[in-house]
A = this chain, B = another copy of it.
């Protein structure tokens, strides 16, 4: 059992660690051409929850993955998540002015630099992964981790595929199958990969890997359902962006299909499934606590 205080302390400590590693991995604000590095850092250090990289750290630590492999991997995942937010907010896609309580990247740096800052974060993520100083005997794990993350960020059942489906279904009728497909790809794939890479770097066998995969899938879907709910019930202060945009864009969401209460119950059931999946894994207390956190979040 991890108490609420212990979890808060753990989360804060990991956010601090991630901040230090990201600060080391991303060129400084004075490295030329400086505007692109300022734009990358503006979005990367905007105070996100860091759920994905913390999942990577918590999973990797269960299997004694060294910090020098684990933290760059976690940072690469956060870079990919941040690039996807920058591009998603562009006028050509969701056209959002606010993100994490601040003007979006393109509102501050212009569309051209925001587009390139997203490209740059995606590129730097893979450079970071490839530059991890893993001994040659474990290089296969490094290559598998890169492939895992690239697949999760891609078009076939990955993040970009989810964004495309999200666009295509705007304003159209949709059913639960379609909705689950979109949410699994758009958010679930990268969250699942965040958990799985911890296992890949730790060299775990197929059984624990199945457990981690199931945990990640359920957690990822629950996360997106709560995200949909908060878009209806949250205030701008709580969620750091403009609420109600899903309804305006007539996006495929759980609340539109089931209402708020039933959507919350589905998220709760999924978190139950996530916990069940990792019941037999040793040292899983932090993954348990992180799963419960997803249900409780207000922003």
- Is residue A164 contacting chain B, with contact meaning CB distance below 8 A? yes
- Could you say which of B83, B143, B168 contacts A142, with CB atoms under 8 Å apart? B143
Please choose the segment from A29-37, A206-214, A235-243 that sits at the chain B interface, where 4 or more of its residues have CB less than 8 A away: A29-37
> Does the CB pair A119–B122 fall under 8 Å?
yes
B123 close to A150 (CB less than 8 A): yes
Whether the pair A27, B115 counts as a contact (CB closer than 8 A) is no
Indicate whether A261 reaches chain B with its CB closer than 8 angstroms: no
Whether A160 sits at the interface, judged by CB under 8 Å, is yes
Which of A58-66, A126-134, A284-292 lines the interface with chain B?
A126-134
> Given the complex of chains A and B, what is the CA–CA distance between A37 and B154 in angstroms?
11
User: Is A1 in contact with chain B by the CB < 8 A criterion?
Assistant: no
Assess the A33–B154 pair: CB atoms within 8 A.
Answer: no
Q: How far is it, in angstroms, between the C-alpha of A40 and the C-alpha of B93 when the chains are bound?
A: 18
Partner of A33, one of B122, B153, B165: B165
CA gap between A154 and B120 in the complex, in Å: 6
Q: How many copies of this chain?
A: 2
A20 on interface, CB distance cutoff 8 Å: no
Beta-carbon contact of A122 and B120 below 8 Å: no
Pairwise interchain contact B123-A167, C-beta atoms closer than 8 A: no
Which of A123, A129, A144, A160 counts the most B-chain CB atoms under 10 A from its CB?
A123
In the docked arrangement, what's the CA distance between A119 and B118, Å? 9
Number of interface residues of A (CB under 8 A): 52
B122:A147 contact, CB within 8 angstroms: no
Q: Is B155 touching A130 in the complex (CB atoms < 8 A)?
A: no
**A250 within 8 A of partner (CB):** no
Known: A139-B139, A160-B36. A112 touches B93 (CB 8 A): yes
Which A residues have a C-beta under 8 Å from some C-beta of B? 27, 31-33, 35-37, 40, 83, 87, 90, 92-93, 111-113, 115-116, 118-120, 122-124, 126-127, 129-131, 134, 136, 139-140, 142-144, 146-147, 150-151, 153-156, 158, 160-161, 163-165, 167-168
* Cross-chain pairs A/B with CB under 8 angstroms, 22 sampled: A33-B155, A33-B161, A35-B164, A36-B161, A36-B164, A40-B155, A83-B119, A93-B115, A116-B163, A119-B119, A119-B122, A120-B154, A122-B123, A123-B153, A123-B155, A123-B158, A124-B155, A126-B146, A127-B146, A127-B154, A130-B143, A139-B139
**Supplied contacts A33-B155, A122-B122, A123-B155, 7 more A-B pairs, CB within 8 Å:** A35-B164, A93-B112, A123-B158, A124-B155, A126-B150, A130-B146, A139-B139
